[in-house]
Amino acid sequence: MKKGDIVELQIEKYAFEGRGIAKVNAEMIRSDIGKNEIPKTNYVVFVDGAYPGDKVKVELKKIKKTYAEAKAVEIISLSSFRTKAKCKYFGECGGCKQQDLDYPQQVKFKKQQVEEIFNKMGGFNDFIIEEIIPSERIFFYRNKMEFSFSDKRWLIQAEIDSHVNVEKNFALGLHVPQVYDKVLDIDECFLQSDLSNKILNLTKQFFKEKNILPYSTKTHSGYLRNLVIKSSHHSDDLMVNIVTSSEDFELMKSYSGELLKHIPQITTIVNNINQKKSSVATGDYENVIYGSGFIYDSIGNYQFRISANSFFQTNTLQAEKLYQTALDFAELNGNEIVYDLYSGAGTISIFISKKSKEVYAFESVESAVKDAEENKQINNASNVHFFTADLYKSFLPLVEEKKLPSPDVVILDPPRSGMHTNTVEDIIKLNPKKIIYVSCNPATQVRDIKLFVNSGYKLIKIRTVDMFPHTYHIENVALMAKI
């Protein structure tokens, strides 16, 4: 085998990030590396678009010393785990990766992949693995959808085969995997709600009829950049946030009127103005066109204000289960000092507040701290204290400056990249009895946990929460205790 070859493989296992694994005879491999350097046994091929039980033809994309990467180009025989995808855009869209995989099997594979990462990558064996928490909803579970405008439309195969003239310079939808300058134009998505789809199509129709152009990442001209829809799970609040490259108050007023005429359920409309060249769905500033500019949602018994640019867990029901898992692991009795690092808008801090003596929360993003302070007032959480701190250098000087009491428990919820070693060292110096680590990336989570274990902590148990059905993304909660 060599790069570009089409070969037939039997998929045996499921790999991290949703790829199938096939084992091959290394004697068959030809590459620039040279046969003598390739292991004779356990040479594996990671295959995009394949599941255990599939027999597939694949195109080899990369040949490495210990593994190869490939993409499925034909399914010869289907795995019994496969099911029919609900969405007509599945396979082209970058949203759902596993909609054609039976959901109970998705959950099983996700639990397995976390176990393997902790066992093989971390070398951990003596710890408890609790049952994964599946999602109650597998469709319409998101409270936020972010759509992109583009002057370059990605054509699906059916559109190409039809030979019908398709407008190529206007698209509103989702990105195609690995393609950053084109957008797949869609008219429905099963991740948020039917109302979300209605807003999507009305928005597209309104601006196309007025010949308003999408922003071009190449020429940096054009007006339309993003459409972000946020909805509340526990109330009827519904926000439309239209992100543009400049201000046009009269156009926004007209757009707002058209939306409200057809969808009176919308409670607020916001226009974010992004004048930067970077493709981000946040503005340099915003104008509230209709309503308050906020929506409200609840996690457990706590209410949170959500602005156009504030972070809030995108699966509300599962967020409550995630936070409850962290709270259960902490086993708080009401007398503990708790530190919450990477605290964002204060959702975890406030969720655990009634079970804690005092909560000290640290966050690097100032706007998130402002949102947290507002949420503190809404929930009358007087024992929670928020601080802006650099969690990429050292937050210990701030602790010392403010003369904060040492923590009994530390809760961590860092970004996908994990923690900076400086922050890890600061926590070790603080010497808490327990550390609860919440992560959306078990690989970086394991890397960081090993640092704590090497400094006197023991991994006690983990529990995985499936926040995002039909994707390979998960959240994992780990408990460490001081030995």
What pLDDT does 36 receive? 47
Better-scored residue on pLDDT, 119 or 32? 119
pLDDT digits (tens, 9 = 90+) for 79-118: 999 999 999 999 888 789 899 999 999 999 999 999 999 9
Looking at the structure, tell me whether residues 365 and 468 fall in a common domain.
yes
Give the structural domain span for 16. 6-82
For residue 181, is it within any domain?
A: yes
pLDDT digits (tens, 9 = 90+) for 9-32: 999 999 877 889 998 875 655 554
Mark 161-170 as b/e (b = at least 16 C-beta within 10 Å). Answer: eeeeeeeeeb
What pLDDT does 24 receive? 84
Show the CA angle centred on residue 414, arms to residues 408 and 417, nearest 5°: 140
Looking at the structure, tell me whether residues 467 and 323 fall in a common domain.
yes
pLDDT band at 160 (very low <50, low <70, confident <90, very high): confident
Looking at the structure, tell me whether residues 264 and 371 fall in a common domain.
no
Catalytic residue (choose from 87, 93, 189, 440): 440
Looking at the DSSP bridge assignments, the partners of residue 243 are 226, 272
Closest CA relative to residue 49, chosen from 145, 154, 177: 177
Q: Cα–Cα distance between 264 and 258 in angstroms, integer?
A: 10
Whether the CB-CB separation of 114 and 130 falls below 8 Å is answered with no
Looking at the structure, tell me whether residues 375 and 475 fall in a common domain.
yes
pTM: 0.90
For the ranges 48-57, 136-145, 271-280, 424-433, which has the lowest average pLDDT?
271-280
Interval 444-468 mean pLDDT: 97
Mark 11-21 as b/e (b = at least 16 C-beta within 10 Å). Answer: bebbbbebbbb
Looking at the structure, tell me whether residues 239 and 278 fall in a common domain.
yes
> Is residue 189 annotated as part of the catalytic site, yes or no?
no
For residue 309, is it within any domain?
A: no
Max CA pair span of the chain:
71
What pLDDT does 279 receive? 80
| % the chain with pLDDT above 90 | 82
Looking at the structure, tell me whether residues 341 and 320 fall in a common domain.
yes
CA distances from 182 to 40, 93, 151, 179, 186 (A): 42, 11, 8, 6, 13
What order do you get walking across the sheet with 144-150 strand by strand?
A: 153-154, 183-185, 171-175, 144-150, 224-231, 238-244, 268-273, 285-290
What's the chain's average pLDDT? 92
For residue 307, is it within any domain?
A: no
Closest CA relative to residue 12, chosen from 23, 1, 24: 23
Looking at the structure, tell me whether residues 279 and 360 fall in a common domain.
no
Q: Cα–Cα distance between 184 and 186 in angstroms, integer?
A: 6
CATH number for the domain that contains residue 257: 2.40.50.1070
For residue 91, is it within any domain?
A: no
Looking at the structure, tell me whether residues 352 and 463 fall in a common domain.
yes
Residue type, 337: I
Looking at the structure, tell me whether residues 131 and 216 fall in a common domain.
no
Count how many domains the chain has. 3
